[in-house]
């Protein structure tokens, strides 16, 4: 899996990046594409996350040094004291974890203070028909208190007008409707090791049945306090939630030689196996924001700089292309904001800093093309350095 280059120098803060030196590490959530480099043997420094993610992390990485974990109350602002590798002085940073409405324990991070104002969404769903998302909006606006976001790192998974989804509540009901139309069929539903719990709960409560999950998934359900509605005994239910990778046409055909079976894939992406006439259904249930939801989010945030954290070969999802005019200034430039690109020689990324004061904000991103099936995330690293080559944003940085 491709990794993204890091700035030269001693880092202060790393978000979803685990292989480079930093003083503080932040985990948005426990999906595997955000934990590359994190393992049971990892011991680089304090790891900050939500309380739910802390419990799930110790389950996933059994034997992990729990003394490294610092769980942060979601919705509250916490102050960190870091040491400047340049001056040796103290650097104060305020961090507010905000419910990302993506999967259990997932959070966005708002960093404020001497390093400027940086919002990293991780994976999130800005579904304002949801009470949870509206609470997140209130928390974010209260924490900002009118402050301008200097850099927004955005989950741009579906940042294209072609992606329009119903609410998760409506999509979950679509799944129930499909199941009810096949009363004599076994049902298999593709899910990940974490996420889509609310979908499964809706199915269980609507159809008054337990749902089969594999043993490791049941352990996760137990940690989340949901185990009573799930089972590993196939005789108790006709509905099974299985690992998403196992949901293939060949497997479905094999199951149908034993008993009539349908497959349901809840996803916002096109599923190559989709074929209702063959008993394979796609339902647009997703934990990522749709294009219209991202548009609403951008209307609220209007950052000086926007950076997408996902790349795709399926369609153009560059948020600067779609939302550049929504930034505080034209095309997310920095006119009037004293922000500069800092070009990293020999890299495809950039760093950003505030010109005022002695402390500088740096962030590194290296783009990497991936196919539609596998999306890579971009971690963020904030650090200080003593001297840099500056190019105003909007200038030609290609050299």
pLDDT tens per residue across span 54-77: 999 999 999 999 999 999 999 999
Which residues, 6+ apart, have CB-to-CB distance to 20 below 8 Å? 6, 11, 14, 381
What's residue 115's pLDDT? 82
What's residue 363's pLDDT? 36
Tokens at 318, concatenated: 């560059």
What's residue 364's pLDDT? 34
What's residue 52's pLDDT? 98
Contact 101, 127 (CB under 8 A): yes
What digits encode the pLDDT tens for the residues 100-147? 999 999 999 999 998 899 999 999 999 989 999 999 999 999 999 999
- For residue 16, the 8-state DSSP code is S
Which residues, 6+ apart, have CB-to-CB distance to 392 below 8 Å? 333, 334, 340, 341
- The answer to whether residue 273 scores a pLDDT higher than 70 is yes
- Categorize the per-residue pLDDT at 169 as very low, low, confident or very high, splitting at 50, 70 and 90: very high
**H or E segment and range at residue 107:** strand 107-113
Indicate if the alpha-carbon torsion angle 65, 84, 365, 289 is positive or negative. positive
What's residue 8's pLDDT? 25
- The answer to whether residue 42 scores a pLDDT higher than 50 is yes
What's residue 88's pLDDT? 86
Number of Cβ atoms within 10 Å of the Cβ of 310: 20
Mean pLDDT of 198-226: 97
CA distance 50 to 289: 21
- Among 1-10, 261-270, 289-298, the range scoring the smallest mean pLDDT is 1-10
What is the number of H-type helices and E-type strands within the chain?
8, 20
What's residue 147's pLDDT? 96
- Categorize the per-residue pLDDT at 382 as very low, low, confident or very high, splitting at 50, 70 and 90: low
- Among 198-202, 249-253, 342-346, the range scoring the smallest mean pLDDT is 342-346
pLDDT-above-70 percentage for the chain: 79
What's residue 383's pLDDT? 56
What's residue 393's pLDDT? 27
Supply the Cα-derived Rg of the chain in whole angstroms. 22
Question: SS3 of 74, please?
Answer: coil
Mean pLDDT of 157-181: 96
Residues in the chain, total: 399
Helix ranges (H only) for 241-290 are: 249-256
C-alpha distances in angstroms, 266 versus 256, 269, 286? 20, 9, 7
- Among 244-248, 258-262, 295-299, 374-378, the range scoring the smallest mean pLDDT is 374-378
Closest among 68, 37, 44, 71 to 55, alpha carbons compared: 71
pTM of the model: 0.82
- Categorize the per-residue pLDDT at 81 as very low, low, confident or very high, splitting at 50, 70 and 90: very high
- The answer to whether residue 336 scores a pLDDT higher than 60 is no
Tokens at 284, concatenated: 């647009």
């Amino acid at each position: 899996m491709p990794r993204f280059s890091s700035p030269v120098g001693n880092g202060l803060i790393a978000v979803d990046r685990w292989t480079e030196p930093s003083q503080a590490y932040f985990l948005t959530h426990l999906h595997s594409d955000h934990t590359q480099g994190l393992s049971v043997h990892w011991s680089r420094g304090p790891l900050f996350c939500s309380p739910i993610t802390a419990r799930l992390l110790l389950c996933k990485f059994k034997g992990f040094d729990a003394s490294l974990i610092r769980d942060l109350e979601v919705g509250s602002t916490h102050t960190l004291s870091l040491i400047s590798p340049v001056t040796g002085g103290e650097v104060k940073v305020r961090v507010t974890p905000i419910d990302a409405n993506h999967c259990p324990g997932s959070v966005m991070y708002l960093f404020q203070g001497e390093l400027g104002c940086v919002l990293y969404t991780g994976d999130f769903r800005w579904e304002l028909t949801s009470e949870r998302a509206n609470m997140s909006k209130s928390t974010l606006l209260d924490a900002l208190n009118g402050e301008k976001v200097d850099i927004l790192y955005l989950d741009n998974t579906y940042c294209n007008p072609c992606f329009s989804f119903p609410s998760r509540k409506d999509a979950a009901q679509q799944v129930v409707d499909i199941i009810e139309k096949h009363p004599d069929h076994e049902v298999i539903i593709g899910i990940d090791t974490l996420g889509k719990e609310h979908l499964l709960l809706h199915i269980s409560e609507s159809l008054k049945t337990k749902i089969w999950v594999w043993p490791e998934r049941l352990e996760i359900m137990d940690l989340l306090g949901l185990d009573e509605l799930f089972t590993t005994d196939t005789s108790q239910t006709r509905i099974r939630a299985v690992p998403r990778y196992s949901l293939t046409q060949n497997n479905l055909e094999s199951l149908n030689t034993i008993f009539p079976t349908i497959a349901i894939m809840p996803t916002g992406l096109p599923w190559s196996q989709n074929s209702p006439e063959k008993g394979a259904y796609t339902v647009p249930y997703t934990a990522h924001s749709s294009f219209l939801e991202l548009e609403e989010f951008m209307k609220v945030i209007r950052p000086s700089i926007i950076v997408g954290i996902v790349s795709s070969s399926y369609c153009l999802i560059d948020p600067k292309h779609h939302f550049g005019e929504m930034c505080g200034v034209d095309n997310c430039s920095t006119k009037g904001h004293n922000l500069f690109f800092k070009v990293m020689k020999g890299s495809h990324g950039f760093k950003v800093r505030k010109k005022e004061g002695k402390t500088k904000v740096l962030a590194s991103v290296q783009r990497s093309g991936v196919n539609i099936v596998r999306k890579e995330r971009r971690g963020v690293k904030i650090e200080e350095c003593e001297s840099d080559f500056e190019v105003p944003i909007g200038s030609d940085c290609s050299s």
